[in-house]
Amino acid sequence: DIYMNAFPDENERERFDNFLKYLKRGETARDYCYHIVLAKDEGGRVIGGCVFNYLKKSNAGVTEFLAIRNDRQSGGIGTRLYKHVQKVLSEDAHRILGKPLDYICCEIDSPEYSRAEIKKYLYFWNKNNFWRLNFDYVQPALSADQEPVDGLWFTISPQRSGAATVSSRLVADVLYD
């Protein structure tokens, strides 16, 4: 329910069977790692989650989605979950390439496209140092029976200090992978 509520546009949603396929394929892949992390409350009920992956070629992580149940938002759960994502992606980079992670990328709804009444998601990504890259971004169709999605921003967060620019080659590599 959390996932469906966070992504009401079915064209933005990955199919659940694909999640399982990507996890299985990621078990033996040498050029990427696929992760699904769930946040649970004290009673063991899922209150949020994140799907993310590490890409060796670009030494970058991609947050596919991060969502927290509406009634539990703004309580620090998303921030704790994102900090865990950073830790796991950093560990992936060190284990696979032997060096620190360079970037984490994420596509988010543009404020004009978003169905959210309150744009608090913009605050969340901004406080975690994500920058919008200024180009027209379209999420490719996720399957043969889905449509491409426009109205999204491609954002990036440098993970090492001193990065003030992002190369077009890096963006192309991330989008390709």
Q: Where are the beta strands (DSSP E) in 41-129?
A: 46-55, 60-68, 103-109
The confidence score (pLDDT) of residue 163 equals 67
- Cα separation, 113 vs 106, in Å, equals 16
pLDDT of residue 59: 94
Low-confidence stretches of the chain (pLDDT < 50) are none
pLDDT at 19: 87
pLDDT computed for residue 146 by the predictor: 94
Structural contact between residues 47 and 77, judged by C-beta atoms closer than 8 angstroms? yes
pTM over 0.75: yes
Tens of pLDDT along 115-129? 666 678 888 999 999
Residue 30's pLDDT is 80
What was the pLDDT predicted at 33? 92
Residue 70's SS3 state is helix
- Looking at residue 149, what is its pLDDT? 93
Nearest-Å Rg of the Cα atoms of the chain is 16
Which amino acid, 51?
A: V
